[in-house]
């Protein structure tokens, strides 16, 4: 076990990485990370900057020399505690920036912020998620499902539909999320298949529409949400009837109306219940 007491920032090597520990000489609470690093914090700071989260861990331990064991790694707690402990005279205090964190660490910090109800950290973590949702939709969806951010969760879920489904579902860990996700995914998949079937009814006599149908079907198979993105069915495709004209009965407007009817009834992800 490592035990380090500092009044200001000190760099120490732990498990091949550098970490800045947050500890106070006169603190009355000691927390121990899962990898054996102690953090000494004033209980008064917890009362000011957090709600019930740390209170559950520390309510019976004030004045007890025994450290309170936490599940998080030191590199996560170091960031979390910097949102809690007020500045000393020797420190130019600023909250750490979560926007610069490696995503793997960032999502652990965001989870800890929610778990311990650290007001200053929860919102800024969500602000960063809004910026990276297109690259980490499953991780953002997990977080929003667990902690109640429905609008961002809807955005994350819709974004995830453009990813291979196997890549997404293996990352969905929030209780009940996988079942809800598969229901939502299938609703959009069904809409795409029905839209493609309607388009195919125009393709029997026109190779131009037949080609567009094949492209559209591939498109909605890869990204169910793209059912609303109708291709240009009158592109530069060869037509068996005439080099300049096509005599099929295709009506793009009627396809758009049908697609709208298929998708308008699909609820937002956060409304899906099982």
pLDDT tens track for 81-115: 888 876 555 456 678 899 999 999 999 999 999 99
The reported pLDDT for the residue numbered 16 is 40
- Per-residue CA distances from 64 to 15, 31, 67, 214 (Å): 28, 11, 8, 70
The reported pLDDT for the residue numbered 199 is 79
- Per-residue CA distances from 77 to 21, 56, 111, 119 (Å): 9, 16, 11, 15
Q: How many domains does the chain have?
A: 2
Q: Among 145-149, 163-167, 201-205, 255-259, which stretch is predicted with the lowest mean pLDDT?
A: 201-205
| Residue at 31 is within a domain | yes
Residues 98 and 21 occupy one common structural domain: yes
| Residue at 226 is within a domain | yes
Is the pLDDT score of 57 beyond 60?
no
| Residue at 116 is within a domain | yes
Q: Which residue has the higher pLDDT, 46 or 71?
A: 71
CA torsion angle 91 108 3 13 (round to 10)? -80
Q: Among 106, 132, 158, which residue terminates a domain?
A: 132
Confidence (pTM): 0.79
Residues 41 and 128 occupy one common structural domain: yes
| Residue at 107 is within a domain | yes
| Residue at 169 is within a domain | no
Residues 22 and 111 occupy one common structural domain: yes
The reported pLDDT for the residue numbered 235 is 46
Residues 208 and 122 occupy one common structural domain: no
Q: Among 117, 132, 147, which residue terminates a domain?
A: 132
| Residue at 184 is within a domain | no
Give the range of the structural domain holding residue 258, as residue numbers without chain letter: 189-271
Find the mean pLDDT for residues 17-27: 55
Cβ-proximal residues to 80 (8 Å cutoff; 6+ apart), any chain = 72, 109, 112, 113, 116, 118, 121
| Residue at 246 is within a domain | yes
């Amino acid at each position: 076990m490592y035990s380090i007491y500092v009044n200001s920032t000190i760099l120490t090597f732990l498990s091949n990485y550098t970490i800045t520990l947050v500890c106070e000489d006169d603190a009355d609470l000691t927390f121990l990370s899962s990898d054996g690093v102690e953090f000494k914090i004033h209980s008064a700071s917890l009362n000011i900057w957090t709600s019930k989260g740390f209170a559950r861990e520390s309510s019976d331990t004030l004045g007890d020399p025994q450290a309170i064991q936490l599940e998080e790694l030191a590199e996560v707690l170091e960031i979390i505690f910097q949102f809690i402990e007020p500045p000393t005279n020797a420190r130019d205090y600023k909250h750490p920036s979560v926007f610069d964190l490696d995503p793997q660490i960032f999502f652990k910090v965001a989870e800890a912020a929610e778990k311990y109800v650290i007001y200053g950290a929860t919102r800024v973590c969500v602000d960063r998620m809004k910026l990276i949702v297109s690259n980490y939709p499953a991780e953002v969806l997990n977080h929003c499902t667990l902690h109640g951010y429905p609008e961002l969760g809807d955005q994350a879920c819709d974004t995830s539909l453009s990813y291979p489904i196997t890549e997404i579902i293996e990352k969905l860990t929030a209780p009940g999320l996988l079942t809800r996700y598969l229901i939502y995914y299938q609703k959009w998949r069904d809409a795409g298949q029905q839209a493609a079937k309607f388009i195919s009814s125009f393709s029997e006599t026109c190779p131009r529409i037949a080609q567009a149908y094949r492209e559209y079907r591939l498109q909605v198979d890869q990204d169910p949400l793209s059912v609303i993105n109708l291709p240009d069915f009158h592109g530069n495709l060869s037509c068996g009837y005439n080099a300049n004209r096509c005599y099929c009965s295709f009506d793009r407007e009627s396809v758009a109306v049908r697609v709208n009817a298929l998708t308008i009834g699909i609820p937002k992800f956060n409304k899906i219940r099982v």
